Amino acid sequence: MSKVVERLAELAELGKYEGGINRGLATPQERKARELFARWATESGYQLTQDPIGNLFARRNGSDPAAAPILVGSHLDTVPTGGAYDGAYGVVAALCALEELDREGTQTRHPIEAVAWVGEEGSRFPIGCLGSAVFARLTSLDEAYALHDEAGVSLADALASADGGLLDLPQRGEQRVAAYLELHVEQGPVLEAAGVHLGVVSAITGQIRYRAVVEGTSGHAGTVPMDRRSDALSATAEIILAMEAAARKEGGAVVTVGRLVVEPGGTNVIPARVSFSIDNRSPDSDKMEAVEVAFHKTADDVSKRRGVRVMLERLDVHQPTPMDSKLREGLHRVAKIMGQNALDVASGAGHDAMCMAKMAPAAMLFVPSIGGHSHVGQERTADADLELGVTALTRAIVEVDK
């Protein structure tokens, strides 16, 4: 069994339950995953450092110590019903690529750093790509530390805790990045349908995350006549369906309400307050705008017609992010040399590469997801594709180093 397959199986045990894998940021299971990465990297002789939010960097020296490092990595955290490959694959593959360079005795000019980003999913703390956003200075450390989970625990406290916190490692000082590469499972059906084993990402879709609250009036489910109600949940339903209709009408836009809380939550009590998440995405920012406009139009309408109050808070905004064209050409050259015809594919999923592209040339490689499934326990990629991806990543590092 290859190292990449073996290590992914070991990681998949951390946070595993019948619903998939759950490794939220700064939880004991996710800390164990960071410890495992640190152990593997140390065993292979790389210098390990950590930054203040918990990102890990395993450095393989280049011939020119003054050169800025090439960073290669992905994230170790998962959504609550995660699979074994989203994020973890790119982290393990980065380490395997460095070890492959050692095995073949290839000396790069740039130092190469395998990176494990923290908090990419934004599952426990509500900002996505948190570790890479802080690293790329898009979010301040203080802002990040002040975030809190649904139990009211702040990230600062979670990172200070013994069982979920930072590891005991030297601080990463270096801030320069020559280039960023990320290998990831596609999480969609395109490569499999095309019968292609490698994808070169053209662009990462734009994404806006919000928190919305609708407030109405509670009351007895049996005695309040329908024309006297301000039912927060019925108003929310109208808003959600209006956003969905706008996304369908625009085409190429997707909107998802994945989490919704109804208060007070009694079966015979009219809902007084609904809070819910909105995940609005499109490769075209005008379309994301159109979905947000649909929210506000319907919110105004139901406020008047149903007597409810509607609030919307933007939590996280990422504009559509094109990948670096020169790096993309390099990835195509690598695929060609490997006898693989790589497909240009857009990424509907968000990635740390969105943040890294703000501070350095960034590019992504995809391998196929079986059935396109992801963010669910049955997420799966064939072992042969996992191994092919590591080879492509190793060759890509050498290509980018030139």
Residues that bind ligand HGY (CB under 6 A): 120-121, 128, 349-350
The position carrying tokens 């007084």 is 272
| Among ligand HGY, Mn ion, none, residue 253 binds (CB under 5-8 Å by kind) | none
Residue 136 or 302: which CB sits closer to ligand HGY? 136
Helix then strand then coil, in percent of the chain rounded to 5, is 35, 25, 40
Residue 349 or 353: which CB sits closer to ligand HGY? 349
Q: Which of 197, 228, 255, 203 minimizes the C-alpha distance to 390? A: 197
Shortest separation between residue 84's beta carbon and Mn ion, angstroms: 12
Residue 25 or 349: which CB sits closer to ligand HGY? 349
Shortest separation between residue 279's beta carbon and Mn ion, angstroms: 12
CB 252 within 8 A of CB 265: no
| Among ligand HGY, Mn ion, none, residue 100 binds (CB under 5-8 Å by kind) | none
| Among ligand HGY, Mn ion, none, residue 128 binds (CB under 5-8 Å by kind) | ligand HGY
CA dihedral 307, 292, 262, 155 (to 10 degrees): -130
Residue 82 or 320: which CB sits closer to Mn ion? 82
Shortest separation between residue 121's beta carbon and ligand HGY, angstroms: 5
C-alpha distances out from residue 305 to 18, 269, 327, Å: 44, 21, 53
Shortest separation between residue 86's beta carbon and ligand HGY, angstroms: 6
Residue 232 or 254: which CB sits closer to ligand HGY? 254
| Among Mn ion, ligand HGY, none, residue 361 binds (CB under 5-8 Å by kind) | none
Q: Which of 23, 107, 4 minimizes the C-alpha distance to 397? A: 107
Residue 188 or 216: which CB sits closer to ligand HGY? 188
Residue 271 or 348: which CB sits closer to ligand HGY? 348
| Among Mn ion, ligand HGY, none, residue 350 binds (CB under 5-8 Å by kind) | ligand HGY
Shortest separation between residue 168's beta carbon and ligand HGY, angstroms: 28
- Please state, in angstroms and rounded to a whole number, the distance separating the CA atoms of residues 293 and 52: 38
**SS3 readout for 321-376:** EECCHHHHHHHHHHHHHCCCCCEEEEECCCCCHHHHCCCCCEEEEEECCHHHCCCC
Helix (H, G, I), strand (E, B) or coil at 217: coil
Shortest separation between residue 377's beta carbon and ligand HGY, angstroms: 15
Query: Which residues lie near Mn ion (CB under 5 A)?
Result: 86-87
Which residues does 164 contact at the CB level (< 8 Å), separation at least 6? 26, 27, 28, 30, 31, 158
Shortest separation between residue 352's beta carbon and Mn ion, angstroms: 8
Per DSSP, 34 falls in state H
